[in-house]
């Protein structure tokens, strides 16, 4: 596993993650000025002259709210009567939430209709009806959050259409539209546009408005997203560093030197052979099994087919090494017997050979029939051939050690 490329990829991915974050921003739709970003204005129906009037209507309007308290100092109002059939307002916006604000009248002159009633239909689906009757205990006019007529959140961040309508009633109805707010999700790297709006109150879920502030943007989403992204990136970096640390430790175990096979044998002169001694002149030491460290670093997990195959290979290697060791002991014995044979000149039968083994104080080999079946009883031992055989067996031992994790090679006993 290459750790450096992974760390580089992780670092490069962080800016991409940050760019993907978005933030919520409030935008306004004024009755007269329209959308604070697109400039699109509400549509007031019917278009008949004299039905809808703005704040400049003057004395011809029976109800005249103070413009200094209205959003952007503007409003548009109409009085419905049964002869009109219906009056309506159409708003278009792109966002995830919408809030509509009326101006309500509580102290109209005698005989002036001040009751407000309106239906709200969003994207073709009826959502709610708003009703307000004049309240003599309330201020003469209600603005902003105290006159919130409709709200809807949790929408897709797409284009929506809102219809505000009054129809089918047998009484006069006063409808005064001041403004609407909608929430738009924008990319975090996009500059927040300038617009006229009011803030939203998170405690009540209703918009909190201010007559002196027209521009607001909600950066809470970007802040929270940045914190979450940083935590995720930190966790990912920690995980990558831990994996790299584990990989390095495993590599160190694999690189450690395997168990060493010790093989010692003397130099044998071509002119003479040393006389026999109580102790053999050639010693050979070979471990019966691999060291625990080598096994731990190379053995597969127990209980798997790979582990069983590995065990079979190890047993076969050990068997072959023991066979080579026995054959080398046979060659040592033959070297000493050859020296005695040249001195005694000969016993050619099997009983004389056994007597020589006994006289030399050596154990009678149990495997002589396997390793010496092609030799004649009167054959003298060739010293140079013994040296070649010992050298070949040494190389074979080293080869078997190097193949401890590979399938064992075929082995056949060496015969001179």
Gap between the Cα atoms of 198 and 160, Å rounded: 20
Reported confidence tier of residue 138, pLDDT bands at 50, 70, 90: very high
Is 391 exposed, middle or buried (CB count within 10 Å of its CB: 0-12, 13-18, 19+)?
exposed
Q: Between 157 and 415, whose confidence is greater?
A: 157
Rounded average pLDDT over 375-390:
62
Q: How would residue 307 be classed by pLDDT, with cut points 50, 70 and 90? A: confident
Range with the poorest average pLDDT among 83-97, 218-232, 332-346, 358-372: 358-372
**Cα 39 from Cα 215, distance rounded (Å):** 15
What are the CA-CA distances from residue 133 to residues 81, 141, 295, 370, 387 (Å)? Answer: 16, 12, 90, 120, 121
For the chain, residues classed under CATH 2.60.120.260 are 3-229
Residue 376 has pLDDT above 70, yes or no: no
Element (H, E) at 132: strand 125-132
Q: Please say if the pLDDT value at position 17 is more than 60.
A: no
Note the CATH number of domain 3-229: 2.60.120.260
d(Cα 311, Cα 308) in Å, to the nearest integer?
A: 5
pLDDT of 230 higher than 80: yes
Average pLDDT over residues 16-44: 85
Question: Mean pLDDT of all residues in the chain?
Answer: 74
The answer on pLDDT for 43 being more than 50 is yes
Residue bearing the bigger pLDDT, 6 or 236: 236
% of the chain exceeding 70 in pLDDT: 59
Give per-residue pLDDT as tens, 252-274. Answer: 766 655 544 444 444 444 444 44
Distance from first CA to last CA of the chain, Å, rounded? 52
Candidates 46, 37, 52, 74; CA nearest to 181 is 37
Diameter of the chain measured on Cα atoms: 155
Q: What is the pLDDT of residue 122?
A: 98
Distance CA 212, CA 196 (A): 10
Helix (H, G, I), strand (E, B) or coil at 26: strand
45, 164 Cβ separation under 8 angstroms: no
């Amino acid at each position: 596993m290459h750790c450096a490329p992974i760390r580089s990829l992780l670092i490069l991915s962080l800016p991409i993650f940050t760019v993907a974050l978005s933030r919520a921003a409030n935008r306004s739709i004024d009755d007269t000025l329209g959308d604070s970003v697109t400039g699109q204005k509400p549509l007031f129906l019917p278009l008949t002259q004299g039905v809808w009037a703005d704040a400049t209507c003057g004395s011809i309007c029976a109800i005249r709210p103070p413009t200094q308290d209205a959003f952007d100092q503007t409003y548009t109002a109409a009085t419905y009567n049964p002869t009109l059939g219906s009056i309506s307002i159409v708003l278009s916006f792109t966002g995830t939430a919408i809030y509509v604000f009326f101006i309500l009248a509580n102290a109209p002159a005698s005989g002036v209709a001040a009751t407000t009633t309106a239906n709200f239909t969003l994207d073709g689906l009826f959502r709610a009806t708003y009703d307000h009757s004049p309240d003599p205990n309330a201020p003469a006019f209600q603005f902003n959050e105290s006159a919130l007529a409709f709200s809807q959140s949790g929408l897709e961040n797409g284009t929506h259409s809102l219809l505000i309508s009054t129809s089918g009633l047998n009484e006069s109805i006063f409808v005064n539209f001041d403004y609407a707010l909608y929430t738009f999700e924008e990319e975090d790297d996009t500059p927040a546009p300038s617009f006229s709006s009011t803030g939203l109150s998170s405690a009540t879920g209703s918009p909190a408005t201010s007559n002196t502030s027209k521009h607001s943007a909600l950066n809470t989403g970007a802040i929270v997203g940045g914190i979450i992204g940083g935590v995720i990136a930190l966790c990912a970096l920690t995980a990558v560093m831990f994996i790299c640390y584990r990989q390095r430790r495993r590599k160190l175990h694999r690189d450690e030197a395997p168990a060493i096979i010790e093989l010692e044998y003397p130099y044998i002169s071509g002119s003479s052979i040393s006389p026999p001694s109580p102790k053999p002149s050639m010693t050979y030491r070979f471990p019966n099994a691999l060291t625990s460290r080598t096994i731990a670093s190379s053995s597969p997990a127990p209980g798997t087919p790979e582990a069983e195959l590995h065990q079979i290979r190890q047993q076969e290697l050990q068997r072959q090494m023991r066979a080579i060791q026995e054959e080398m002991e046979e060659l040592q014995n033959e070297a000493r017997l050859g020296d005695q044979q040249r001195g005694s000149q000969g016993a050619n039968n099997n009983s004389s050979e056994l007597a020589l083994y006994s006289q030399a104080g050596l154990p009678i080999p149990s495997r002589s029939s396997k390793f010496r079946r092609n030799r004649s009883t009167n054959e003298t031992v060739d010293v140079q051939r013994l040296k070649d055989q010992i050298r070949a067996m040494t190389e074979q031992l080293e080869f078997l050690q190097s193949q401890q994790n590979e399938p064992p090679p075929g082995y056949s006993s060496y015969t001179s």
